[in-house]
Amino acid sequence: MMLDPTPLSDSEYHAKAGAVLASIEARIDELLQDDVVDIDGSRTGGLLELTLPNGSKIVINTQPPLHEIWLAARSGGYHYKYVDGRWLDTKSGRDFFEVLSECASEQAGRLVNFPAP
């Protein structure tokens, strides 16, 4: 799949990638407050590690030199570029939040939704 990424300056990339990580952290807080699922989020700089109740992990990592966001889950590894306001997988073209929701649901054994901010 050929994506046509939106050109971003380094500062735009950092702002947009940071907003993705912040929205995931905010959603984890909501899921914990509403007692939906116990996901632990641990962030170090541009790396966010989600630990699910069964001990499995999902890792989301910013890749500043490439202007990408990477997602690693049990189902595989995915690379995302910013295209027209969305982070899209460089191979399938699927939306980051859609894939994250699927991976988290699969690994949590229940429906977990991460809506796009």
Mean pLDDT of 27-46: 92
CATH class of 10-106: alpha beta
User: What number of H helices and E strands is found in the chain?
Assistant: 2, 6
Structure tokens at 77: 């590894």
Distances from the Cα of 33 to the Cα of 21, 30, 36, 37, angstroms: 19, 5, 8, 9
At residue 30 the predicted structure's pLDDT band, cuts being 50, 70 and 90, is: very high
Structure tokens at 64: 């500043």
- In this prediction the pTM is 0.94
